[in-house]
Structure 1
Amino acid sequence: MAVKEVLTKLLKFGVDKNYFIISEVGKLDKSCCKKSKVKAIDFDKTKEKVVNDFNLDTIKSCDALKIIPQKKCIDFIEMKSSINIINNINNNTQGKLQQQVDKFDFEGKIRDSLYILYFLVNNRNSNLMGYEKNEYYKVKKNYIILTDINIEINPLDYLAFTLDYLGQMSSSLSVMLKEAVENIPPDSYQNLQQPKLMNCESFKHFYTT
């Protein structure tokens, strides 16, 4: 029961103090699932306010956050559009694609995202008691890498490419993202779970079942 109460208080504090701006995932600036109606916190805006309020150096963050008291968990969501990735690489090759994936620094983003929440949890205005702050570290924390990798759902988005060529690049990207996600170690102290790679459809199913 304590975990649920901690998350409820943290969510209320964040909303009341404008640290948590809730929006549909499809409406977020970096969304790769433009039709998604799943609601989440715009964590880029959370980062901006925390950096400003606490005079921090620029840090990284995931794109979105879900605090779910009923399920006693926190979900960090990082979004990567395969369209943007492939469009941004001239003379696409698997080598350049791998370089792009390496630059994503998924591990660094989740580390800094946990750091951002640390400041909010320990903010004196959060009204969290000492034992509740300890409970926060026990909260199950999921790390979701969200991508629009399934091109067959909406091939019109890819008119600039032949389907055969894009299919090969998208398949390679899927493998690279999967390997990058699997290489992120869980964190027993923060109760960070093994990351999950999802596409738009599985993401929708994950939050509606």
Structure 2
Amino acid sequence: MAGFDLVGRLLGRMRDRDGRARALEAPAREMSAPGPTPRPGPRPPPGSERMLREAVATKLLDGWLSNRNQTLVPHVLNFAVLPPERAGLLVAVMAAAAQADGQVSAEEARRMPLALRRLGAGEGVVAGLQPALDAPPPLPALLAQVQEEGLAPHAYAAALLALDRRGRSNRAFLRYLAARLGLAPEVAGGLERRYRG
């Protein structure tokens, strides 16, 4: 009989090994029992949901506006994809920039066709550079046309590629050009880093 008691106790212990723990079951049942229903807190004031939506919308708009200048800047100035009239407009800006200090230096004359070819301009566009240098259009009309076409950052990049930035009058011209085209200082600075000439 004692042997049966021993076997019974061993089997009883083995039954608890399948994931059941009687010692923990009772406290778990007490914890899962529904407690008193929590009392509702104070109701939000009327219109607070609308105010929250407006605050979130304002934050989103503010973030977009502070970042908009980065999205307006051309990532790549590619003459190969520009229509001929727009490419010609940017070539005219290059010619005007090169003459900002009153003369086109030998370095600027050498640099401009190379920059145009490097940026995908065809020979027709490159050939338009010399006539633009010989008879540049009036700068106010040229810049007004640039703005109408939405090419302000492109025009600034083209000017950067055309002139020698070490000259004092050339740097003054770039400041004027950025202001006249309505470019934010961070946009102009980003273009200056990207298009070093």
Q: Please give the TM-score of this superposition, normalised by the length of structure 2.
A: 0.27
Query: Which one has the largest radius of gyration?
Result: 2
Structure that is richer in strand per residue: 1
Q: Please give the TM-score of this superposition, normalised by the length of structure 1.
A: 0.26
Structure that is richer in helix per residue: 2
